[in-house]
């Protein structure tokens, strides 16, 4: 779950905890690695900003 909205002229993508990515992000902090699965396979992301 989630979506995109315009805020002050910028597109912001929201992620909810009902999505696989959102579940993987729970409890993570800045600079943490996040492992998740996508239709294309496993993906490792790094949190570079929170806002």
Model confidence pLDDT, tens digit, residues 7-19: 899 998 888 999 8
pLDDT of residue 41: 93
Is 36 within 8 Å of 20 (Cβ atoms)?
yes
What pLDDT is recorded for position 28? 97
Task: Spell out the per-residue pLDDT of the chain, length 51, in tens.
Answer: 678 999 899 998 888 999 888 999 999 999 999 999 888 999 999 999 887
CA distance 30 to 19: 20
Would you state the pLDDT for residue 2?
78
pTM recorded for the entire structure = 0.70
b/e sequence 16-33, b meaning 16+ C-beta within 10 Å: eeeeebeebbeeeeeeee
Spatial distance between the Cα atoms of 19 and 2, rounded to a whole number of angstroms: 8
């Amino acid at each position: 779950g989630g979506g995109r909205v315009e805020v002050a002229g910028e597109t912001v993508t929201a992620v909810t905890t009902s999505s696989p990515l959102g579940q993987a992000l729970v409890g993570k902090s800045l600079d943490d690695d996040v492992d998740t699965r996508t239709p294309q396979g496993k993906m490792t992301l790094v949190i570079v900003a929170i806002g």
